[in-house]
Structure 1
Amino acid sequence: MHALCRAVSPAIADCELSFIGREPINVALAHLQHGEYVECLKKLGVSVIELPAEPGLPDSVFVEDTVLLFDELAVLTRPGAESRRAEVDAIAPAVQAVRTQVERISAPGTIDGGDVLRIGKRVFVGLSQRSNQAAIDQLASILKPFGYSVTAVPMQECLHLKSAVTALSDDTVLINPDWVDAAYFTEYRQIRVADSEAHAANVVRIGAAILMPSCFPETLALVQAAGFAVSTVDVSELQKAEGAVTCCSVLFIG
């Protein structure tokens, strides 16, 4: 397992926000927390490619939104926020170094990687403020030759699909049904986040291990009770930028 990660921009306080209010961000602490996040990935067996900070791109630590890495190819995205589109060109050289075939979403399509949840050969894409049907249609066409199916999933009250649901395994998802219709995931065992922890559904799956923020103890207990080994990390400053644990890495095999 490998991961692309990018250091925190010194301009992170100027990040895009959609569903949360703006709070002061301690940039030094954000750097420290991101470093601990990277170290946690390494402890879980991930080989991390660490990219330098982009001072002119406030959201660039959230690399997940810029590229979709599949076993067979990479797909560079076209983020829904215009201010983030330069991040795609910034990460393209690193992507080309790890995948021979690289495709790209084009206008009028917009899509953030945070809206794309892959479970095996199933790809779910959130219809959100950042991702539209035109991009979903393009992605379906790109992936069809490789045997992937793509499903558009309406959502509400959150930034990305993976704010509302992520995979714990090939047959289990962690979900907030207030933000996404659980009927789209009926073929999977569903673990619902604790009522008091609406943002807890965003976790990173690394083989049989799960990485999640340390600030959701009730949901952590539910996931552990279901038999999953969980590591936690403090990402409180990154959460002020509407980020989460999936946002800060792009995981891939080989």
Structure 2
Amino acid sequence: MTKDASFRFTHAITRRPAATITQGLRAVDTGTPDLATMQAHHAAYIATLRATGATVIELPALDAYPDSVFVEDTALCLPEGAIIMRPGAPTRLGEAAEMEPQLRALYTTIARIQGPGTIEGGDILVTGREILVGQSARTDAAGIAELRAIVTAWGHSLREVHTPPGVLHFKTDCSLLDANTILSTERLSASGCFDGYKLIHTAPGEEAAANTIRFNDVVLMPAGFPGTRQRIEQAGFTVVEIGNSECAKLDGGMSCLSLRFTPS
């Protein structure tokens, strides 16, 4: 995999928010998401991806799955093929099954986490040199071991790390800005998991800004975190802010809302 393949993509898959989004999972109840506001934010997100020249596939809402807007957890898309995940939340298992035929239409190679272990895409950070996977409440050692066997056969190196207590996903607290640069909270990087990378820390009190995505030539970040935005821009990146107030009520962020890839 080339270093640019971790942030340069020709395609993205998104799914429209379900009307049942108000029933979505959340670690702490900070309020009920407003569907209309979420739809407006989601439209801005898709428009930003398309503005880079990418093809964005918008899948219809799945009202049977309140959390289905967060498509990233259902699969890992690599240049060699796509891997269907096995979500750690039982109510989300059906989402992965719904995503499989979409990816089969785009990829020649599809693998699947069979279980009994669990793993979600939100715990996986693909860099230019390795795949980092955080063990969390949703991703366990057995799921990571099964993923390791698949990606190792495809020529990738996988390193297991640990998500801080009380943090839903590994990428809740970090994101890739380029092949060698990672945006991270200080509580996560304190573990030393990013030794050897260039680090940009979120500004004090702005830990919720850590989940961004680098998509081609722009960094999409949640709106409302000026200190972190300044740090990213000072490092030479072009930033686009997207409203995330409603997804945040369901522990969701920028990376959660899309699968990003170049089909094989």
Shared fold, TM over 0.5 = yes
Instruction: Summarize the Cα distance change of 1:180–1:191 in structure 2 as closer, same or farther, 3 Å threshold.
Output: closer
Partner of 1:50: 58
State the secondary structure of the residue aligned to 2:240.
strand
1:25-104 mapped onto 2 (5 Å cutoff) = 25-104=33-112
Partner of 1:226: 235
- Deviation above 4 Å: which 4+ runs of structure 1? none
Partner of 1:252: 261
- 1:45, distance to aligned residue in structure 2 (A): 2.2
1:109 aligns with 2:117: yes
- 1:182, distance to aligned residue in structure 2 (A): 4.5
Contact 2:76/2:83 (CA < 8 Å) preserved in 1? yes
- 1:120, distance to aligned residue in structure 2 (A): 2.0
Contact 1:175/1:182 (CA < 8 Å) preserved in 2? no
- 1:64, distance to aligned residue in structure 2 (A): 0.1
- 1:203, distance to aligned residue in structure 2 (A): 0.6
Q: TM-score, normalised by structure 2?
A: 0.93
State the secondary structure of the residue aligned to 1:196.
coil
Q: TM-score, normalised by structure 1?
A: 0.96
- Counterpart CA distance in 1 for 2:62 and 2:107 is 22
State the secondary structure of the residue aligned to 1:50.
strand
State the secondary structure of the residue aligned to 2:40.
helix
Summarize deviations over 1:10-53 as a string: whole Å, max 9, x none: 000111112x3241211111111111111111112221011000
1:205 aligns with 2:214: yes
1:177 alignment partner, one of 186, 190, 202:
186
Summarize deviations over 1:89-124 as a string: whole Å, max 9, x none: 111111111111111112221011000000024000
Contact 1:114/1:247 (CA < 8 Å) preserved in 2? yes
Contact 1:63/1:248 (CA < 8 Å) preserved in 2? yes
State the secondary structure of the residue aligned to 1:135.
helix
- 1:222, distance to aligned residue in structure 2 (A): 0.5
Partner of 1:17: 26
Summarize deviations over 1:56-105 as a string: whole Å, max 9, x none: 10000000000000001110000010010000111111111111111111
What is the number of equivalent residue pairs in this alignment?
Answer: 253
- Counterpart CA distance in 2 for 1:253 and 1:102 is 14
What percentage of aligned pairs have identical amino acids?
36
- Counterpart CA distance in 1 for 2:240 and 2:16 is 21
